[in-house]
Chains A and B, each alone.
Chain A
Amino acid sequence: MEKKLTTKRCRLLNKQKSLILQIMKRSLILSILFFSITAFSFSQKISINKGKVSLYEALKEIKKETNVDFFYSDKELNVDRVVLANFTNTDVVEIVSKLVGKMYNVQKTEDGILLITPLYTNNFQNEITVTGIITDNFNTPLPGVTVLVKGTKQGATSDIDGNYTINAGKESTLVYSYIGFKTQEVAINGKTTINVTLQPEVKELEEVVITGILQRKKESFTGAIKSVKKEELKAVGNLNVIQSLKTIDPSFIIQESNTLGSNPNRLPDIEVRGKTSISTDNLRDEFGANPNQPLFILDGFETSLRTIIDLDMNRVESITILKDASSTALYGAKAANGVIVVETVKPVAGKLQITYNSDLRIEMPDLSDYNLMNSTQKLEYEKLSGLWNAPYDGDVLGQFKLDKQYNATLAEIKRGVDTYWLNEPVRVGSTLGHSLYASGGSEAITFGVGINYKDLKGVMIGSNRETWGANFNLTYRKNKLNITNSLYISGYDANESPYGSFSNFAKANPYFRKTDANGNPTKYLDINGFYKTSYVNPLYNATLNTLDNSNKIQLTNNLRAIWKLNNKFRIQSNLQLTKANTTSENFLPPEHTDFIDTDISERGKYSNQRLENFSYKLNVMASYASVINEKHSFTSNLRAEAEETNNERLGVTAVGFPVGTNGNPAFAFSYQPDSKPSTAQSKYRRINLLTSVNYDFDKTLLFDATYRIDGSTVFGSNEKYSPFWAVGAGINLHNALNMDPEKVSLLKLRGNVGSTGNQGFGNLSSVSIYGFTQDTNIFGQGTDLLTLANPNLKWQNTLNTSIGLDAVLFQNKVTATLNAFKKKTDPLVVRIDLPSSTGVFGYPINTGYMDTKGIEAIVRVSPIYKPQEQIVWTLGFTTSAIKSEYGGFNNTLKSLNDAAEVSQSLLRYRDGFSPDDLWAVESLGIDPANGSEVFLTAEGLPTYEYHSENEKVMGNGRPTMEGIISSNLRLKNFTFGVNLRYRFGGDIMNTALFNKVENISRDQRIYNQDVRALTDRWINPGDISTFKSIAQFNTTPISSRFIQEENVIIGESINFGYEFRDQQWISQLGLNRLRLNAYMNEIFRISSVKTERGINYPFARAISFSLNAYF
């Protein structure tokens, strides 16, 4: 609902004064324009035919025609009011009487002046002053609401905080009206305070659910959606919309990446309502996306996750998450994982409005999960693990050398060398972002111009992400036509840290010194030349001029035309053109330790990769809405769309650089030997036809139906088209049962079922594809069969069933949304390797199904709810629980399971089990007698032997429940919010225990490890310990010992806000409002599992501030 923040000029007086003389006096001054009398005549009859004009225009016209002049007070007479000025041969006085209405007396004076005075008189004795606050149904104060005493022109408007004051008779009735809201009447009955909550007005094509494609009447919509406004997003955090969204809706989950941590350039894995696909990497082609990722829509067009993450948060007007069939069927083939619809701020007509936002973010590395040895512990560990013992007894000379080195190391430790390497590559990253937006214009032409810039600095030194953007919107409205053009130019420049992987710092031994005597990092870590070149100093490479940069520039133009034929029918067309260029550059100088063993002519490596993208999308939609007998309301839409996407990639690599070079490829010795330029081109086209009908009966019974047919080059030759559908129904129980609106203002039960597709797989083809072979011979080049066709491949279809309940109770004090859903994807598309004699590998087949069930709830309760005093305290609770199950595979995915076993993955594809189940052999622990692990066979017998056949489900990676507990307090201009994420019941594999406590090989002993490798491992017979003998180096397979239940509470967002307004200094600065926010994100984390997090890039805790100024 758009609200105009400009205060309407009020022409109505607070106090009525009926003394004509006074009016005359004032009018003499005010209406001086009309006071020149040049002619005079009685009983004049005239004809005017001006149609709809303002009263002022009408009177002016009459004056022109008759030379009659007028006396009135423009405080009492609204001359801007539009009147119908069509009269034929009518007396002037009669015309004017009709024009001004029955509330005025029109009197002709002797000198030919028409005196216009109000008819009524007021009883001053009965008048009292009424005050109050006017809010909307979200408790937001509504400024500019017109308050009128019924039957009079006596009125007032609410101020920016929704407060109003009016004088009225004790027994009179107040009328509250505001554009887009239902007009409400309240009898005064002697009360002096009247607070009013205005309900939004439901009109055809107005109060809508934003689906990105069609607009749906909110009240009659049967789908499960979550709409989030800009203010809510900004209240949680200021990093990006994705991060804020996860705090607001429980079905929106961002998978934490233990390896990539808080790398600003990381692209997160996102799920809405669980998975629908098997996400093996070989299922997608190069330009495909994660098949479990939701679809992102920006201003009506599909976009990438990258674009959404880089989007300036201040440009966002609202975000809608579409979760179930009723809403996602609109997007057909790609919507199985839900749809995230982002709408940006649209320019508003009126005077120039300028908004400035500034965001400051400070990120600090969170290293608290690291539990590494100090130098004394490390040496002790090395001794116990036998690193300092000669390989065989009697090797006296060998032992002597080892003892000597041991003592030298010990001497360094005694000297106090205890380097804390983890601090070396990290910093406190500070980010400053600016965003400026101006909009304005007349009713016919409105414009909006914005620019934004942000430099996000990560916690590892040198890693950053600079994003920038500019947008220009222009809207032209004339009669029935509305044309909008939006141009966006945006880009980023991202650098990875020259320090490389954080894990190298966790590996470095604390008893080594960082630098030589001069303070320069040495190339190798060593004491007395013992390790020679085998131990690289992780700091060394950072001193070189390495480069790992990618940058992008993207240009998007959206052109939209809406043609409203009448109130019921309209046609809309959109055209989007997008062009983007991405360049990635990588340079490793020849001095880099990667090239220690490389031939001198190949030291140093430069690679450059360019990705070009062009796409166009065009759609046309016709909408028809009508109401029959005031009870039957229909909306229907028909929409056709065509789109094409072109991707082109070219990459080259050059090697062999002189020492000290800057990485300019001109200095390279040659291309990389035996390589060729890497390249890929693709062109996708899609078309679809969508029809959708919506019906509601008396705002009580609701019905939705959507049908969409998708055609795509993605489909194989036999199945180019694929249909999708959804039907939904709902009932507004509060209307049907005539519930007391004081107690139940909304109680809606809804349900829907439908099918959606999943094409995040890239171009799976049902035609055989050939490619050129690498070698040539005397006959020239050859072509080779790359993929064998599967002409019968069916596309993944997800049958989505969802039911839900929305409730608003006790006048907004309690709001609740409950959803339950079931998604069945049948069949799945999986690429598998067939038995090798078939010669067919990575073959897409249809097999099995995946069944996901879940519930989610969002409940908000306000124990203190005084919006009129601006004191509201709301407690929120969101939760989601999801369960998935595979079925129907039989043994078709054996090759995937075998591969998973080899790569030590815990996931298996087995009928009746969940995609999140963690498979491992059950362990009985460590035998105190010999320090070896004892496993349990499938028959339940203990054994020292590990056999993968004994593996069973030892945990489930998906939390039993996950959600947010929040508390939000508004106290006048001050807001305070806490959002805590809880997650419990999920199991994780503790990689720190597996890799850095237990599975330390002989060669890895020289690197630093988790301190538990020293303290918790078996040393002597009889030791009761969790981890195998400190002197055993055989590879430990994954067993149940490493799977732990993780219960965690995260301080996801704690925020404070204060808004300055009405203060004098604010207006002196030329400001309308000024808002300050402070946030703490991911500030703490309490977990039941102690493991290293952020292996290649540490996690960050963030404190941020944002400033919003409205001019």
Chain B
Amino acid sequence: MKKYLKNIIGILGCILIVSCSDYLDVQPEDKYLEEDVFSSETGIQTALNGIYSNMTSNNTYGSNLTMSTVDVLGQRYNLVSDRDAFHYYAIYDYENTGVKTTFDKIWTGLYTNILNINNFIQGIETYKENISDEKRRLLKGEAIALRAMHHLDLLRLYGPIYSVNAEDKSIPYYTEAKAELNPLLSATEVITKILADLTTAEELLENDPVREFGKVAIFQDDDDDSGYNGTDFYRFRNLRLNYYAVKALQARANLYAGNKEAALTVSKAVIEEASKWFEWTPPQKIISAGGNPDRTFSSEVLFAMQNIDLYNNHKNLFASALNDNSILAPEDSRLNNEIFENNQNDYRYNPIWALPAVGEKQYKTCFKFADVSDNRKEFRFRQPLIRISEMYYIAAETETDPAIALTYLNTVRFNRGLVNLEVGVNIPNEILKEYQKEFYGEGQLFFYYKRNNFTSIPNGSSPTGNITMGKDQYVVPLPLSESDFRQ
């Protein structure tokens, strides 16, 4: 009897010990575990691509931070009626439920992607054996720079007016993927971290192929010696936060923090080095391209997203078929007389703004993000986030010599079909006008106003008159989903 018992217990024990651990290692079939994602170079690539893909969400860069909400805050559009979809944004009613929800979505969307980025950065380090060192540096550099970019936009939106209250508590900064709350940092601390991240990214992207090969860096059938051949993933550097885009972000962040010298140095460096790869878009591609005008001047864009929803967003926000309460359209006389000064030669004017051919609209509507007839055009679905013209504006703003500053401005103006400005013009005013013209649907204008702490800006909902600005307008309150936990 005892022999039996021993045998049986023995057999049972063996079966259990030998097979249990393996038996319980079951992978979910409809989801990917982290270790699977990072087990191959392809997996790592899709994880990074997921981060870029998330950015195209309408909650963040896809719409709110570019075409809609933030541009509305910059008084781009006529939203005089309280029935207008964006009316309460235009009057800075941050207590309005809908407005609150949107700013919660922007906050949550950006931070969720930051978590994603941080998990990616940790993953690519943990599983570094699965990717070559050179590629790892490239991808990690992009990810760290994206982290800085996300934080910079959070700071610009929710942070204090930097030039006045730089020591105010602003936002938390996350560099690790963990379920822990980080403290609110002062705006200067955040800028320090952003710049630190951008420096790290710059170092990691030292050998970014964009510097040697330009934006479409490597072709599949190239027998180049870059080491990236055979995969598309390292092409189209302008769709990635590449070396130049990182430098451009450095310029943007430095200027936001008032570091004019640094901003000048960096922006000049970008202009010098990147111009050969990011050439000005020739007028024939804009004015005389028939049904396929490149209205976003895609060749100049240092960093763009490929947003599949771009044309849907155009339909939902700008299309002339929309009713008056749903459309985002500028007050017509402001657009014609003030912003574009009735200058028909400006490539940014007539190709982008037009009276609808059909329908009852008596004002011009925006075609910047309208689809083109040839669906093979490379620039389709590209949504600009950083363009080289901003570097010229930053250089102009930070250059102490007005003559040199003017050359930067005139370079852009020349490539927009405008005549040169003469020495003696009010350069800051001209820069402001350029921001108003250049960045429609790209969100930068509001941040320009906020950076310069303008106490009054043109009221978008009326043909004349200004709107008084201050802390209550410029500083978006933290959403409840955040502030509730911080009391």
Q: Is the CB of B30 within 8 A of A770?
A: no
Q: Is the CB of B50 within 8 A of A837?
A: no
Of B16, B36, B53, B482, the contact of A835 (CB 8 Å cutoff): B482
Q: Is the CB of B108 within 8 A of A778?
A: no
The distance from the CB of B183 to the nearest CB of chain A, in whole angstroms, is: 10
Residues of A within 8 A of B37 (CB): 770, 783
A681 near B: Cβ within 8 Å?
Answer: yes
Q: Complex: how many Å from CA A771 to CA B8? A: 45
Interchain residue pairs A-B with the least CB separation, the first 6: A782-B50, A839-B115, A782-B49, A782-B53, A839-B112, A836-B481
With contacts A782-B52, A788-B177, A788-B179 taken as known, whether A687 is within 8 angstroms of B308 at the C-beta atoms is: no
Q: Is the CB of B181 within 8 A of A713?
A: no
Q: Which residue of A lies closest to B108 (CB)?
A: A836
Of A685, A782, A789, the contact of B51 (CB 8 Å cutoff): A782
Q: Complex: how many Å from CA A898 to CA B483? A: 13
Residues of B at under 8 Å CB distance from A? Answer: 1, 4-5, 8-9, 12, 15-16, 20-21, 23-26, 28-37, 43, 45-54, 56, 104, 107-108, 111-116, 119, 171-172, 174, 177-182, 232-233, 236, 239, 306, 308-309, 381, 479-482, 484-486
Q: Is the CB of A898 within 8 A of B232?
A: no
Query: Given A720-B21, A767-B34, A783-B47, 8 other A-B contacts at CB below 8 A?
Result: A565-B4, A571-B8, A640-B16, A778-B232, A781-B50, A785-B177, A835-B181, A837-B482
Q: Is the CB of A771 within 8 A of B482?
A: no
With contacts A684-B26, A713-B26, A782-B53 taken as known, whether A777 is within 8 angstroms of B31 at the C-beta atoms is: no
- 26 A-B contacts (beta carbon < 8 Å): A640-B16, A681-B28, A687-B16, A720-B24, A767-B33, A769-B33, A770-B31, A770-B36, A773-B54, A777-B52, A779-B232, A782-B46, A782-B47, A782-B50, A782-B53, A782-B54, A783-B43, A785-B119, A786-B31, A788-B115, A788-B178, A837-B107, A838-B181, A839-B114, A843-B179, A894-B485
Residues of B within 8 A of A763 (CB): 28
A642 near B: Cβ within 8 Å?
Answer: yes
Q: Is the CB of B179 within 8 A of A834?
A: yes
Q: Is the CB of A833 within 8 A of B481?
A: yes
Query: Which A residues between 678 and 724 are near B, CB-CB below 8 angstroms?
Result: 679-685, 687, 689, 711-713, 715, 720
Residues of B within 8 A of A687 (CB): 16, 20, 23-24
- Residue interface mask A559-599, B partner, CB < 8 A = 1: 00000011011010000000000000000000000000000
Residues of B within 8 A of A781 (CB): 46, 49-50, 53
| Interface residues on chain A, size class | 35 or more
Of A680, A715, A790, the contact of B30 (CB 8 Å cutoff): A680
Q: Complex: how many Å from CA A71 to CA B373? A: 116
Residues of B within 8 A of A776 (CB): 53, 308
The distance from the CB of B217 to the nearest CB of chain A, in whole angstroms, is: 13
A768 near B: Cβ within 8 Å?
Answer: yes
A784 near B: Cβ within 8 Å?
Answer: yes
Residues of A within 8 A of B232 (CB): 778-779
The distance from the CB of B153 to the nearest CB of chain A, in whole angstroms, is: 14
Q: Complex: how many Å from CA A620 to CA B12? A: 9
The distance from the CB of B194 to the nearest CB of chain A, in whole angstroms, is: 15
The distance from the CB of B13 to the nearest CB of chain A, in whole angstroms, is: 9
Residues of B within 8 A of A713 (CB): 24-26
A103 near B: Cβ within 8 Å?
Answer: no
Of B9, B20, B34, B306, the contact of A769 (CB 8 Å cutoff): B34
Q: Complex: how many Å from CA A625 to CA B46? A: 60
Q: Is the CB of A840 within 8 A of B115?
A: yes
Q: Complex: how many Å from CA A216 to CA B256? A: 77
The distance from the CB of B298 to the nearest CB of chain A, in whole angstroms, is: 13
The distance from the CB of A847 to the nearest CB of chain B, in whole angstroms, is: 12
Residues of A within 8 A of B171 (CB): 837
Q: Is the CB of A839 within 8 A of B8?
A: no
Q: Is the CB of B50 within 8 A of A770?
A: yes
If over half of B's interface residues share one DSSP class (helix, strand or loop), that class is named, otherwise mixed; here it is helix
Q: Is the CB of B28 within 8 A of A769?
A: yes
Of B9, B31, B114, B306, the contact of A638 (CB 8 Å cutoff): B9
Q: Is the CB of B46 within 8 A of A768?
A: no
A780 near B: Cβ within 8 Å?
Answer: yes
With contacts A767-B35, A769-B28, A770-B31 taken as known, whether A839 is within 8 angstroms of B108 at the C-beta atoms is: yes
With contacts A683-B26, A685-B23, A770-B50 taken as known, whether A836 is within 8 angstroms of B8 at the C-beta atoms is: no
Q: Which residue of A lies closest to B44 (CB)?
A: A783
Q: Complex: how many Å from CA A779 to CA B52? A: 10
Q: Complex: how many Å from CA A786 to CA B112? A: 10
Residues of B within 8 A of A104 (CB): none
Q: Is the CB of B32 within 8 A of A839?
A: no
A110 near B: Cβ within 8 Å?
Answer: no
Q: Is the CB of A783 within 8 A of B50?
A: yes
Q: Complex: how many Å from CA A763 to CA B12? A: 27
With contacts A640-B12, A838-B115 taken as known, whether A771 is within 8 angstroms of B23 at the C-beta atoms is: no
Residues of A within 8 A of B21 (CB): 720
Q: Is the CB of A790 within 8 A of B46?
A: no
A1006 near B: Cβ within 8 Å?
Answer: no
Q: Complex: how many Å from CA A624 to CA B178? A: 51
A622 near B: Cβ within 8 Å?
Answer: yes
Of A682, A773, A778, the contact of B236 (CB 8 Å cutoff): A778
Q: Is the CB of B306 within 8 A of A778?
A: yes
Q: Is the CB of B23 within 8 A of A837?
A: no
Q: Is the CB of A784 within 8 A of B53?
A: yes
Q: Complex: how many Å from CA A778 to CA B479? A: 34
Residues of B within 8 A of A679 (CB): 30
Q: Is the CB of B116 within 8 A of A839?
A: yes
A393 near B: Cβ within 8 Å?
Answer: no
Q: Complex: how many Å from CA A779 to CA B32? A: 19
Q: Is the CB of A624 within 8 A of B26?
A: no
Q: Which residue of B lies closest to A569 (CB)?
A: B1
A775 near B: Cβ within 8 Å?
Answer: yes
- Residue interface mask A625-658, B partner, CB < 8 A = 1: 0000000000000101010000000000000000
Q: Is the CB of A569 within 8 A of B16?
A: no
Of A565, A566, A777, A898, the contact of B308 (CB 8 Å cutoff): A777
Q: Which residue of B lies closest to A832 (CB)?
A: B179
The distance from the CB of B162 to the nearest CB of chain A, in whole angstroms, is: 20
Q: Is the CB of B479 within 8 A of A836?
A: yes
Residues of A within 8 A of B174 (CB): 837-839
Q: Which residue of A lies closest to B51 (CB)?
A: A782
Residues of B within 8 A of A895 (CB): 481, 484
The distance from the CB of A440 to the nearest CB of chain B, in whole angstroms, is: 35
Q: Complex: how many Å from CA A835 to CA B21? A: 36
Q: Complex: how many Å from CA A624 to CA B9? A: 12
Of A765, A838, A840, A894, the contact of B484 (CB 8 Å cutoff): A894
Residues of A within 8 A of B12 (CB): 620, 622, 638, 640, 689
- Residue interface mask A778-812, B partner, CB < 8 A = 1: 11111111101110000000000000000000000
Residues of A within 8 A of B56 (CB): 775, 777
Q: Complex: how many Å from CA A898 to CA B485? A: 11
The distance from the CB of A90 to the nearest CB of chain B, in whole angstroms, is: 37
Q: Is the CB of B24 within 8 A of A790?
A: no
Residues of B within 8 A of A839 (CB): 108, 111-116, 174
Q: Is the CB of B179 within 8 A of A783?
A: no
Query: Which A residues between 73 and 114 are near B, CB-CB below 8 angstroms?
Result: none
Residues of A within 8 A of B26 (CB): 683-685, 713
Q: Is the CB of A838 within 8 A of B34?
A: no
Query: Which A residues between 844 and 863 are near B, CB-CB below 8 angstroms?
Result: 845
Residues of A within 8 A of B479 (CB): 836
Residues of A within 8 A of B486 (CB): 835
Residues of A within 8 A of B114 (CB): 839
With contacts A835-B486, A838-B180 taken as known, whether A683 is within 8 angstroms of B24 at the C-beta atoms is: no
Q: Which residue of B lies closest to A834 (CB)?
A: B179
Q: Complex: how many Å from CA A715 to CA B36? A: 18
With contacts A568-B1, A711-B20, A777-B239 taken as known, whether A837 is within 8 angstroms of B28 at the C-beta atoms is: no
